[in-house]
Chain A
Amino acid sequence: MTPPRVELLFWDGCPSHPQALADLRAAMGELGLDPAAIEVREVDTDQRAGNARFVGSPTIRIDGEDVDPPPDGEPFGLTCRVYRLRDGRYSPVPDPAVLREALENAMTRSTT
């Protein structure tokens, strides 16, 4: 199996990326993936946000796909991203279950 490419993009003006990184590392560890392989990239200007199609911090992509895709037309920019947990609560980070599922799906794709 080729391990998935896992990226975490963050903006330092939002305090949520340490939690997102911890959740992501935990999910990868549970699935036997190497947490050290996460590519962590800071987005620090509006121009870089546009170039990276960055809709807010944190943004996590697996093999280039957002783990919790934003609505169409979501503007790019330096902001905190709003997620919804599966129980409906607002959250500054994705639901850990969503992270695991996205990783599992990527692992399945790479073995078929």
Chain B
Amino acid sequence: MTTIAIGAAAPSFDLPATDGSRHALGGDGESPAPATAVVFTCNHCPYALAWHDRLLAVARDYADRDVRVLFINSNDAERYPRDSYEAMQQRVAADGGWPVPYLRDEDQSVARAYGALTTPDVFVVAADGAVAYRGAPDADHGDPDQDAAWLREALDDVLEGRPAQRAETKPVGCSIKWKQ
């Protein structure tokens, strides 16, 4: 599987969230956000859990600049029931809600289109629809002080209208659980 290249057009999608609403990227007539962070994540991976609060903090901190953050769970729920749509709903409800939509990619087509490999795997999409960053949120899942610095740097670059200076890093986490 090939990961979408930096500068290439981000694949469009339209997915359901845990609250039943739908969220699209790249749809016809859509007014694009100045930057969108597409985060492939899941319920059961320790790396995704370790980075989770940092990623939610990014969503909160950049909301006033109209940055969209979308969490997508693409894992095979048949073999990994903790990643089922129902389990996603329960997790968000148990937390009292999240500042980001948690989207279900049931047929895994979005993860395949992006070439996502791990949870988490982060893509930043600029207003023109091009992928500006791909990789990990920051350098160390075990250090909360890293504060998703790589993702924040990429968002800052995109919001300033320039290419991300650190456009690619190695994604670190659990492999996406593909259907067999």
Asked whether any CB of chain A lies closer than 8 Å to the CB of B47, the reply is: yes
Asked whether any CB of chain B lies closer than 8 Å to the CB of A4, the reply is: no
Asked whether any CB of chain A lies closer than 8 Å to the CB of B12, the reply is: no
Q: Quick check: B175 and A13 within 8 Å, CB to CB? A: yes
- Bound Cα distance from A79 to B45, whole angstroms: 8
**Chain A residues positioned under 8 Å from B80 (CB to CB):** 77, 79
The interface on chain B, measured as residues whose beta carbon lies within 8 A of the other chain's beta carbons, has a size of: 16
**Chain A residues positioned under 8 Å from B79 (CB to CB):** 77
| Shortest beta-carbon contacts, A-B, top 9 | A92-B46, A90-B49, A80-B174, A82-B46, A90-B50, A13-B175, A90-B46, A80-B45, A80-B46
- Bound Cα distance from A47 to B52, whole angstroms: 31
The interface on chain A, measured as residues whose beta carbon lies within 8 A of the other chain's beta carbons, has a size of: 14
Asked whether any CB of chain A lies closer than 8 Å to the CB of B27, the reply is: no
Knowing A77-B79, A79-B80 are in contact, say whether A91-B44 is a contact too (CB < 8 A): no
- Bound Cα distance from A70 to B159, whole angstroms: 44
Contact with B along A1-29 (1 / 0, CB 8 A): 00000000000011110000000000000
